[in-house]
Amino acid sequence: MLKDITLGQYFPGNSVIHRLDPRTKLIITILYIAALFTASGPFAYLLVMCYMMIQVALSKIKPGIILKGLRPLVILITVTAILNMFYTPGRILVQIWVLTLTYEGIVRSVFMILRIVFLVIGSFLLTYTTSPLSLTDGLERLMGPLKRIKFPAHELSMMMSTALRFIPTLIEETDKIMSAQRARGANFDTGNFLRRAKALLPVLVPLFISAFRRADDLAVAMESRCYIGGKGRTRLTELRLTAIDFIWCAIALALLAAVIIMRVLGL
């Protein structure tokens, strides 16, 4: 299950999405998320889904990789669907004890599942097609105007990209620790929820120790290379916006506008 978590991984490629400026990808991701949360009807959701499916196809990321990354969210999606299905007031279809299934609950449950799934897919696509270094540069450039009010744009973007970069590393480390614990007789797969949670406690201590050790090694490595933050820092590759970047931003903006219009019209 842990190996199925692919958030933070980068898959090199030469697709149209890979070649976009990281600032453009951050902007269109924000606009896409805004459109996804604004959508309220079936046609609006269909439009947003088609937009994301086209982006996935253009990125040339295999659908199997994306579906693999969704596996750890099955429990979250299931719980969300059940809560919305049985606790949404409306026209009653079936009533069993304290559980009431309504038509509005089914509709809302479907929309919530689609919202969670495509929200995750959009986030995955950003990290899949953007290297951590490019993501750091893009975040810093977008937050550049905030530097005038002494906002630590460089440090914040560095922290965010470093956290994303270390997600796969920590997952791999957790898997190794759990494998070592299983070899010593630990059991993580049987028993109720509380028993499984209690069985994970011996994993947390070595995981935290390993995480702090890696953080200390990273800090020492940065200090030994005279890293002092973003002040006076130069870049090997300067970011430059092209015509395709403006076109993609315009498409994402048009998507958000169309979804807002559909919401007003009840579509």
What parts of the chain have a pLDDT lower than 50? 1-2
- Domain range for 7 is 2-164+242-265
- Residue 180 is assigned to a structural domain of this protein: no
- Residue 145 is assigned to a structural domain of this protein: yes
Q: 141 vs 93, 251, 256, CA distance in Å?
A: 53, 22, 23
Q: How many domains does the chain have?
A: 1
**What local confidence, expressed as pLDDT, does residue 242 receive?**
83
- Residue 41 is assigned to a structural domain of this protein: yes
- Residue 229 is assigned to a structural domain of this protein: no
Q: Which helix (H) or strand (E) covers residue 200, if one does? A: none
**What local confidence, expressed as pLDDT, does residue 142 receive?**
78
- Residue 171 is assigned to a structural domain of this protein: no
**What local confidence, expressed as pLDDT, does residue 254 receive?**
92
Furthest C-alpha separation in the chain? 67
- Residue 203 is assigned to a structural domain of this protein: no
**What local confidence, expressed as pLDDT, does residue 257 receive?**
92
**What local confidence, expressed as pLDDT, does residue 7 receive?**
58
Q: Which of 128, 135, 110 is nearest to 64 (CA)?
A: 128
The tens digit of pLDDT for each residue in 97-108 reads: 777 778 788 888
